[in-house]
Amino acid sequence: MCGIAGLVSRNVRDLRSIFAMTAVQAHRGPDGAGHVLFDDKGNAGLWREQPDLSNASIGRLALGHRRLSIIDCTDSGHQPMSYDGGRYWITYNGEVYNYRELREELRRRGCTFRSESDTEVILAAYSVWGADCFSRFNGMWALAIWDSVEQCLVLSRDRFGVKPLHFCTQNGSLWFSSEIKGLLAAGTLPIKTNDQAIYDYLVHGTVNTSNHTFFDGIVAFPSGCYAVVSPQDLTVSPKAYWQLDLSAPAENLASFEQACDTFRELITSAVALRMRSDVPVGACLSGGLDSSSIVSLMARMTKGSLHTFTARFPEPEFDEGPWAQRVIDAVGASGHMSEPTEAGLISDFAQLVWHQEEPFSSASLYAQWLIMRQAREAGIPVLLDGQGADEILGGYRKFYAFYVMSLLRQGRVIDASREVLALLLKGDRGYWRWHEGSRYLPRVLRRHSFDMERLLRPTTHALSTTSAVSLGATPDIRQRQLLDLNRYSVPSLLRYEDRNSMAWSVESRVPFLDYRLVEFAIRLPVEHKLRAGQTKAVLRAGLRGIVPDAVLDRRDKMGFVTPQSRWMNGALGEHIEAVCLDSASTLDRWVDLRAALHVWRTASPSGREIGQSLVFRLGTLAHWLNRFKVSAS
């Protein structure tokens, strides 16, 4: 896990900005820096730290790197790294977990290695297979490879975008960086708002639903793609090396029991691969089904004490600590507990915005922020987490609603009635609560959107697009899962987790997004995921005897939540309101700020909840505008 940066130019230019681009990302790689600058004749000069360059370093290409040592912590693993006599150079962030198997295959093809790093395996793989190598990797990555013979730059990102990669073009140069702040540090790009992103954020609370960012002109490189860039035209044309094929038939398994066996084999393999490390590995543990499954499997593979990290709250309705403790006791882990507080969030808000780089819609990510900080303080630089399980296994409430609707559309009224009855008998009426289901109605029937939108300025209303996908417009469950994986929940959750973890120099790994497991789970018959009133049926049955029964039988899904509503009625609300008022002249460009504050303070409970959501977003937006000194477009 690291931070990368680079630039390639049509014409010779001063390349010294590469040092500022990596310096601002030092939190991603505290264990060292590296830079390679190519002069106007293509000769490479390598520096581990910033040199004393009294004169401009003139050339067309520079690669930079900040290192967090995880695999092969020796000097042999330093980047940027070269291969094949200097033909190939790489700057790379992430881990390719199956690097050992790939290295053996490449050795049989005649490749030689001078390190134990996965970085060198990537270079060797590219030298043998070209861009076809990316589909052979099982891992998370964002990388750039320079081929000095073909004179091209290759960019690539993992299948689900676990690792970030951003780019922009300006003044005849292409710039790329792990984090947006790396691009801003180059000092060549005007820092302006992307008003379309702000509209989607204020009205829908969505972020990262496309490759565009909140910064005008800065683009996220798409996941599951690579691009070959020529310095002559600098065009970035991503090509997919992997896609989920929903046209393929569902896994034709003989029985539910066989599906459970296959699932158990795949998740066990995914966890084992992600425990490969030359430094200590721990886990996030909420006490929910997903993280408890990972911790229970890790405990069977760990020699010595397994460290887990949990956020706790004094309010019982938000606290999953007792459930986490059950798992800790069952597997003999060493549990670390942190407690997010309202005062702590207010104190950390500006720093949280700085690391997140774009506005966020909920205070829930603050709990994760504290967990990552505690892991670094405990000396555990790698954590496994449960992101992705809800999306691939139908864990959200909406999936059960879609399932029942699909049964009714098929005329399977008895089956639909049986599922509804099972839910009611289990005491889970929440699936049918209005506030849970109303957002899946057609937009014309949703008063929620109207209440939010009537506060917007006319120029902001004009940004509404008919191309936006309605949450209720895709009733097919597999299509909904695909949307969540590629466009909605997963991209946002992964961005939050990457920035939260890397702020504290911690590498986060997500076994449920092993592509083999995702392909298997998406293609399973729905009845293997939603069954007898339970979500994630194949996981619950497949890990029976490994995960404590009490956790497997839980029905009170909570998610990663904080007492945000309560805090917004206290000091946090006062802080957010003050920040909004300080930025009133800017925020009024998009929204009637005074009206929004009035709705929040005076409306009915349901209206106050809507107003609170908007005011929190406005406060975060104001923090972001101030922290990054962004001007309106």
* Residues forming the active site: 2
**What span, in angstroms and rounded, lies between the C-alpha atoms of 439 and 610?**
13
547 bridge partner residues = 544
Q: Using DSSP, state whether 378 is helix, strand or coil.
A: coil
Identify the H or E element spanning 617.
helix 605-628
Q: Which residues contact 130 (CB under 8 A, 6 or more apart)?
A: none
> Which CA distances in Å does 271 have to 177, 187, 281?
29, 41, 11
Residue 127: partners with Cβ closer than 8 Å, 6 or more residues away: 83, 84, 87, 88, 111
Q: Are strands 152-157 and 173-177 parallel, antiparallel or unpaired?
A: unpaired
Q: Distance between CA atoms of 116 and 70, rounded to whole angstroms?
A: 11
* Contact present, 189 and 168 (Cβ < 8 Å): yes
Q: Which residues fall within 8 angstroms of residue 252, CB to CB, at 6 or more apart?
A: none
Place of tokens 């009170």: 556
Burial class of residue 348, CB neighbours in 10 A (0-12, 13-18, 19+): middle
| 3-state SS assignment for residue 355 | helix
Q: How far apart are CA 157 and CA 143, in angstroms?
A: 7
Q: Is the alpha carbon torsion for 604, 605, 608, 609 positive or negative?
A: negative
Question: Helices (DSSP H) in 235-380: which residue ranges?
Answer: 256-273, 289-301, 321-331, 342-356, 365-377
Q: Tell me: is residue 118 an annotated ligand-binding position.
A: yes
- Beta strands at 225-229 and 239-240: parallel, antiparallel or unpaired: antiparallel
Which segments are annotated as binding site for L-glutamine? 118
Which segments are annotated as binding site? 118
